[in-house]
């Protein structure tokens, strides 16, 4: 039972890291990345659908994204959705699809992007610490209910802390990699 709590905490922390990577992908780093459109949705027959589910998204060049809807009637709707998402880009409708040309990032934009990913990293660390707190709470409850000894409680608290340290270090490493990617020209 105590090992289960530790495994669940590790699993939750792993999911938190995956969510951070997903969030990082939405931040523009200078190169075209289709994941920046992940949060853009359109109304497709009454259902809010991500663009990736109603169109093919390709990167013909390093600074371009091309979106070709499976249904040509969606071209204008996708164009409006991209405008409304405030991505800082201007979609160009060619009648068949939408071309997005990403302008080169300024130094100010790069610094702003680094601030955004720093906040994402800090929020992720808070989530990791909340998982640690919940796991330790479970262990203290088990010790109070005499399911584990006080020595076991200390051992499991140390294990949870080691796990927390491991994942916060990974967050810091991932932040540095993404920061380097954003700041490189």
Which of 67, 86, 101 is the C-terminal boundary of a domain? 101
What's the predicted TM-score (pTM) here? 0.75
Rounded Cα gap, residues 89 and 66, in angstroms: 13
Q: State whether 12 and 45 are in the same domain.
A: no
Calpha distance 11→30 (Å, rounded) = 32
Give the pLDDT score at 95: 86
What average pLDDT does range 14-31 have in this prediction?
A: 86
Residues 46 and 19 in one domain: no
Angle at 28 between CA 46 and CA 106, to 5 degrees: 135
**Distance (Å, whole) CA 50 – CA 31:** 21
Q: Which pLDDT score is estimated for 108?
A: 87
Domain boundary among 50, 72, 101: 101
Task: Give me the domain span that covers residue 17.
Answer: 2-26+106-183
Are 77 and 115 found together in one domain? no
Q: Over the stretch 123-172, which tens digit does the pLDDT of each residue have?
A: 999 999 999 999 999 999 999 998 999 999 999 999 999 999 999 999 99
97's CB contacts (< 8 A; 6+ apart) are 55, 66, 67, 68, 69, 75
Angle at 105 between CA 101 and CA 108, to 5 degrees: 150
Q: Are 81 and 54 in contact, with CB atoms under 8 Å apart?
A: no
User: Which pLDDT belongs to residue 88?
Assistant: 75
State the pLDDT confidence band at 104, using cuts at 50, 70 and 90: confident
Same domain, 95 and 78: yes
């Amino acid at each position: 039972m105590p090992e289960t709590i530790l495994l669940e905490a590790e699993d939750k922390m792993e999911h938190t890291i995956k969510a951070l990577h997903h969030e990082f992908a939405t931040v523009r780093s200078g190169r075209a990345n289709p994941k920046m459109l992940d949060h853009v949705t359109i109304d497709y027959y009454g259902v809010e659908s991500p663009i990736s589910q109603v169109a093919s998204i390709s990167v013909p060049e390093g600074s371009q994204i091309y979106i070709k809807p499976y249904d040509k009637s969606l071209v204008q709707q996708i164009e409006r959705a991209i405008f409304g998402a405030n991505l800082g880009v201007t979609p160009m409708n060619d009648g068949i699809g939408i071309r997005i040309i990403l302008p080169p990032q300024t130094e100010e934009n790069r610094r702003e992007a680094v601030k955004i990913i720093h906040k994402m990293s800090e929020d992720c660390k808070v989530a990791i610490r909340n998982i640690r707190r919940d796991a330790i709470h479970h262990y203290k409850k088990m010790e109070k209910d005499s399911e584990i000894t006080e020595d076991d409680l200390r051992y499991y608290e140390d294990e949870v802390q080691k796990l927390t340290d491991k994942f916060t270090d990974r967050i810091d490493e991932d932040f540095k990699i993404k920061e380097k990617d954003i700041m490189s020209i």
